[in-house]
Amino acid sequence: MAAPAPDVLDHAQLNRALLARQLLLERSDLGAVDAVEHLVGMQAQAPNPPYIGLWTRLARFRTLDLAAGVQSREVVRLVLMRGTIHLVSARDCLRLRPVLAESLERSLKGTFGRKLAGLDLADVVALGVEAVEKEALTLGALGTVLAERWPDHDAFALANAVRNLVPLVQVPPRGLWGESGQAAHTTASSWLGRGPDTDPDPGAVVERYLAAFGPASVKDMQVWSGMTRLASVVGRLGTRLRVFRGTDGRTLYDLPDAPRPAPGTPAPVRFLPDFDNILLSHADRSRVITEERRRHVFTRNGLIRPTFLVDGEVAGMWRVDRERGAARLVLQPFSPLPRSVRDELTDEGGRLLSFAAADSSSQDIVFDGHP
């Protein structure tokens, strides 16, 4: 007897499933570190966006909650998925980095292979580790140290060889709310007092991804992680996963008991920070943003602008302008919004300003563009 055809999930079902797992249907009571771990990390090129990302997802979040985790070494910042800086729990730093080692090595070769040609990278790594464990260094300073030994090679490429081949974490004050300055690095092993897992489990990482971003295709998993050949990993998980089909015929995988709310489940407006992973973790991003709007949000120089969600979909962008102590939240909707939605955005925007611009002398909110 032929196996029954997989259930079909439409756009609305995929949208609500993603929102539920991203803690965007209702704010969660999780603590900051547990939320970062549930989300399998947060992309974090700049220090402040993860704070906004947690504020929009958690019921009682304060900047101190995450800053304390950074200072106590419960969360760290390092290169992980897609070769980008992520904020992750210390546990995930040690669990994820070994699984991603091959993809990070491949990325290094693709970007800097010619500039590193002829080098014994084991020697580069050994000297780099010795240097950053003696004193936390910026990538520029690390490159200078390495270029003294290999003067005929590009210093930036040498520094990146160490960062991609060894887990290097960024030490405080980098990662603290409102702090600026260049990122200084040391090894994860010295910072956390223990080394990465010696038995990497890509299947466990796939399951973690689905818990935070599913249902998803193999291609989605690969786009999120930067890894390749995940079809075989998914195959080995077998009955641990449930199989669905998208309306476009794609095969989608999910955890059997993961939340899949009804399409009509209410979705309140939410403000997302720059680089929020909800926009970066699928090959097919249409469950939350149209291709036309994506072109406005994703800039040519690699920035991902802050956005807001209306009924679970990216409906516009936002920014906070600061001048002479005053803070103004500027909302740029992509299309006209009903008065009720504008009122909801204004209310939630006021709460955002109270959080993100608590030190301002005055605050206001304006709509720029569509009435």
- pLDDT at residue 227 in the model: 96
- Residue 42 pairs in a beta bridge with 87
Residue 269 CA to residue 126 CA, distance in Å, equals 49
Average pLDDT over residues 166-180: 93
Element (H, E) at 64: helix 63-71
Residue 314 CA to residue 293 CA, distance in Å, equals 8
Residue 21 CA to residue 314 CA, distance in Å, equals 17
- pLDDT at residue 137 in the model: 97
Residue 122 CA to residue 126 CA, distance in Å, equals 6
Asked whether the predicted pLDDT for residue 86 surpasses 90, the reply is yes
User: What's the DSSP call for residue 3?
Assistant: P
Side chain identity, residue 4: P
pLDDT tens-digit map of 182-197: 899 999 999 999 999 8
Inter-axis angle of helices 230-237 and 218-225, to 10 degrees?
120
Length of the chain: 371
* 327, 363 Cβ separation under 8 angstroms: yes
pLDDT tens-digit map of 195-205: 998 889 999 99
- pLDDT at residue 1 in the model: 47
Q: Is 177 exposed, middle or buried (0-12, 13-18, 19+ CB in 10 A)?
A: middle
Average pLDDT over residues 252-266: 96
pLDDT tens-digit map of 90-144: 999 999 999 999 999 999 999 999 999 999 999 999 999 999 999 999 999 999 9
Closest CA to 219 of 210, 208, 230, 209: 230
Strands, sheet with 75-79, edge to edge from the N-terminal-most edge strand: 42-43, 85-89, 75-79, 168-170, 185-187
Closest CA to 167 of 193, 185, 142: 185
pLDDT tens-digit map of 46-83: 899 999 999 999 999 999 999 999 999 999 999 999 99
pTM for the structure as a whole: 0.95
* 296, 333 Cβ separation under 8 angstroms: no
* 24, 39 Cβ separation under 8 angstroms: no
241: pLDDT confidence band, cut at 50, 70 and 90? Answer: very high
370: pLDDT confidence band, cut at 50, 70 and 90? Answer: low
pLDDT tens-digit map of 59-69: 999 999 999 99
- pLDDT at residue 302 in the model: 85
User: What's the DSSP call for residue 59?
Assistant: T
Residue 279 CA to residue 272 CA, distance in Å, equals 10
- pLDDT at residue 181 in the model: 81
In the chain, DSSP finds a helix count (H) and a strand count (E) of 14, 13
Sequence-ordered list of residues with C-beta below 8 angstroms from that of 213, at least 6 positions apart, any chain: 18, 21, 22, 40, 220, 224, 277, 281, 282
pLDDT tens-digit map of 307-366: 999 999 999 999 999 998 899 999 999 999 999 999 999 999 999 999 999 999 999 999
- pLDDT at residue 3 in the model: 57
CA-based R_g, the chain, Å: 22
6: pLDDT confidence band, cut at 50, 70 and 90? Answer: confident
